[in-house]
Every structure is written in C-alpha cells, then in structure tokens.
Amino acid sequence: MRREEISRALSMLDESYVLEALELTGPDCEAPKVNDMKISRHSARNLRRTLLIAAVISVFFAVTAFAIGYGINRQRQQELREQLQIDQHQVEEYTEYPLPEENGEEASSDGKMTVTLLSSIGGVEFDRVYFNVSPMEPDPARDVNYFFGVSHDGGKTYIGMSSMWKNGKQVFYDAETKTATFEYLISHAGSDQASRDIIVGYCPDIQDEDAEIQQLGSFTLDLPEVRIRTCMFENPVEFSCEELGKSGRLLGVELYASGMTWLLEHEDSERFYYSDKGLRFEELSQEDQDWIRSVQAPWANAISGVTQGTLHMADGSELQIIAAESGDYQDGIVKRHTGYSLGTIDPDDVVSITLFDGSTTDLG
C-alpha cells in the first residue's frame, strides 16, 4: 500500500467518527463498568461502530511504516531504471529483485536497520549491485566511521560498499524515510566473484576494535552473461610514451552496456605483464622488479592519455569516455576498462568513435 493510498483512505473517514474513537481511548477516559451499561440496540450499534473505527485507524497506522518503506524501495528501483536508461537501451544484463513483501517477507517497522537488494547490472570489469539501507543519516562529507560491506564467503571477510555520489553530491537519498542507496562493485579480477550468495554486513564504528560486523541480510545475485560487441580498427592508431621513447598501438574497442574496453599493445607489454605467465612480483629477479618499477608510471600515464574519447550514436547523441584506469593482459593484448557513471548504452547503437588525437574511426 502506497503512502498516497493510506492518506486517501484516511481522508474518507468521517471526522466525527475519528474524534469519537479517540475520545474512547483518551488518556483520562475510564472504561465503563458492566453494571452501568445500558444494553440497547442503539448503544450497541454505536459501540460497535466506534470500536470498528478505532480498529481501522489502528490498522492504518500499523501498516504505515511498512508501506512507506516498501514505497521508497519501489520508487528507487524505478529511478535507477530511468537513470541507467535500462528500457531505452534494452539492457539485458540488468536484473531487478523482488522486494520484501513480494517474497512474503515482512519489512522492519521498529526502527531497526534493514537492507533491501534492489537491482544489479553485469559488466566486464565490474558487476554493479544496488541496495537500499534504512534508517541512515545523510553523509554530506563522507567523513564517517561506520562500515557497510558484502561477504562472499559466509561472513568471514567483507568488501566495502558506499553510498552513491555524483558530481560531489550524494544522490538517491530520501530524507523522509532516511533511506540511502548503496552501490557495490564485484571485481572480476579477484576471488570475490566466486560466489553469488552474499551477506551484507554493518559495523557502526570501525575505529572500535571490539566492534563486530552485524549481518543485515543474505541474498543470491542473478548476473546474466554480458553481451560484448568487439570492434577492431581497420588501421590501428599509434601512440607514444615520450618518457621512455617507446610506442604502442590502439587496436580496437569492446563495447557493452555498462562500459567499454580499449584493446592495445605496446613495446614492453609482454615483459611488463608478468602475471600472465603465472608469476608473482616477489618471484621476479631483482633486475626485473626494478625495471617494472621504472616503466610502470610512464606507461600508465601514456595509456591514460590515449584511452579516452567520444562515442557517437546512431541517433546523433554522444557519450564522453573518461580515461581507463585499470585493466589486464590477455593473449598478447592489453585491455583497459572504463565504465559509464550512472549510465548505459546499447552497443549496437554506436556508429563511430573519436580518439585522443581528434581522428574519428567508423565502427560499422
């Protein structure tokens, strides 16, 4: 039941009935004695009517907390769907989860902190999962001691998640219900992706050594396989790492709903990405360790400079792509990933891309 429906139903009650019911249960009202009652059909009808009105009012107020909580969860699901343009871009990797009352569960109405799984969207570098947490105070400065995290190993370890921010402002916060929306990123590079069965935990003060993480809820995620459109450039674009006097080539891009991956190669890639050979840094020789330290920053700066541009869509719209900050190495190709901030695309709608040097490459 929505807040509007509760208000509309309450407004239909005759004011005199409400006052009569409140007078019956007032703090100074003394219950009538049995021998003082005059039993008549008229008085019995009035008493039954009064008790019925009181019961109706009691039921309405009892469900208000639940209805408001459910309302903000349903509202947030709709807002996320609109913000991410899920329907517009026909994003198949997006999943909305049933809310508590749809599962036959009861939402908390006693002020205890609750977490509600809203939705998730699959990606290549990260899967993104959205939760509502209530009650929460606004977090204008992010200067807080509390901790929210997700566990993939039954509560043994937790990976942090944070409330949602955009352009330096907290977004998706409802002051009336004190509900904040959190985003959690599941990295494909780590072992945290192993289990889709998760536990959400909360610690009120991470500075307190004796504080324990409280389990707020457990969920099972549904993350469909990601649809990827691979576009290799007909003519790879060369770039340079001036600090090292070396060069590389942009080979193409991989497009998917929640982000994209740049495909490239450079002169030091095979030696630099030692982990592709199953090695750990401490297993390398001192010479190789020193060499990697010396080239790491120059190549990172050069790659950040060339992995940004503009996607051009079939309808004439554009999307600015920020510099890729993370990646891996597969089959001789360096892959650098970037995501879209609170947005998605339809990979099939992209017709061309403008690169770092101002040139535009057709992706048809």
Q: Map out the domains of the chain as residue ranges.
A: 3-73, 89-220, 229-362
Torsion of CA 137, 141, 147, 152, to 10 degrees: 110
Q: Does position 176 have pLDDT exceeding 60, yes or no?
A: yes
Q: What is the pLDDT of residues 133-163, one digit of tens each?
A: 999 887 655 556 788 999 998 999 999 988 8
Cβ burial, residue 307 (10 Å; 0-12/13-18/19+): buried
Q: Does position 255 have pLDDT exceeding 70, yes or no?
A: yes
Q: Does position 31 have pLDDT exceeding 70, yes or no?
A: no
pLDDT at position 18, please?
43
Give the C-alpha separation, 316 to 206, whole Å: 49
pLDDT at position 21, please?
44
Residue type, 325: E
Q: In this structure, are residues 188 and 258 in contact, taking their beta carbons and an 8 Å threshold?
A: no
pLDDT at position 9, please?
47
Q: How confident is the model at residue 170 (pLDDT cuts 50, 70, 90)?
A: confident
Strand-pair category, 147-151 with 159-160: antiparallel
Could you tell me which residues come within 8 angstroms of residue 247 by beta carbon, excluding any fewer than 6 positions away?
238, 239, 240, 241, 266, 267
How confident is the prediction for the chain on average, in pLDDT?
81
Of 17-21, 78-82, 205-209, least confident by mean pLDDT is 17-21
Task: Outline where the chain has alpha helix (H).
Answer: 3-11, 15-24, 41-83, 86-89, 269-272, 286-306
Q: What is the pLDDT of residues 66-121, one digit of tens each?
A: 444 568 999 999 999 999 999 999 999 999 999 987 655 544 555 688 999 999 99
Taking residues 15-36, report their average pLDDT: 47
Look at the alpha carbons of 73, 79, 85, 90 in this order and tell me if their dihedral is positive or negative.
positive
pLDDT at position 144, please?
67
Q: Does position 33 have pLDDT exceeding 60, yes or no?
A: no
Q: In this structure, are residues 244 and 112 in contact, taking their beta carbons and an 8 Å threshold?
A: no
pLDDT at position 50, please?
54
Q: How confident is the model at residue 49 (pLDDT cuts 50, 70, 90)?
A: low
pLDDT at position 10, please?
46
Could you tell me which residues come within 8 angstroms of residue 71 by beta carbon, excluding any fewer than 6 positions away?
2, 3
Torsion of CA 117, 221, 128, 224, to 10 degrees: -130
CATH code matching the domain that covers 89-220, chosen among 2.40.160, 2.60.40, 3.30.1490, 1.10.3470: 2.60.40
Q: How confident is the model at residue 313 (pLDDT cuts 50, 70, 90)?
A: very high
Percent of the chain scored above 90 by pLDDT?
53
pLDDT at position 32, please?
45
pLDDT at position 129, please?
94
CB atoms within 10 A of CB 298: 16
Of 21-25, 122-126, 186-190, 220-224, least confident by mean pLDDT is 21-25
Q: How confident is the model at residue 165 (pLDDT cuts 50, 70, 90)?
A: confident
pLDDT at position 284, please?
94
Q: Does position 330 have pLDDT exceeding 70, yes or no?
A: yes
Percent of the chain scored above 70 by pLDDT?
73
Of 94-98, 142-146, 176-180, 356-360, least confident by mean pLDDT is 142-146
Q: In this structure, are residues 198 and 151 in contact, taking their beta carbons and an 8 Å threshold?
A: yes
In 3D space, the residue among 226, 242, 281, 262 whose CA is nearest the CA of residue 334 turns out to be: 262
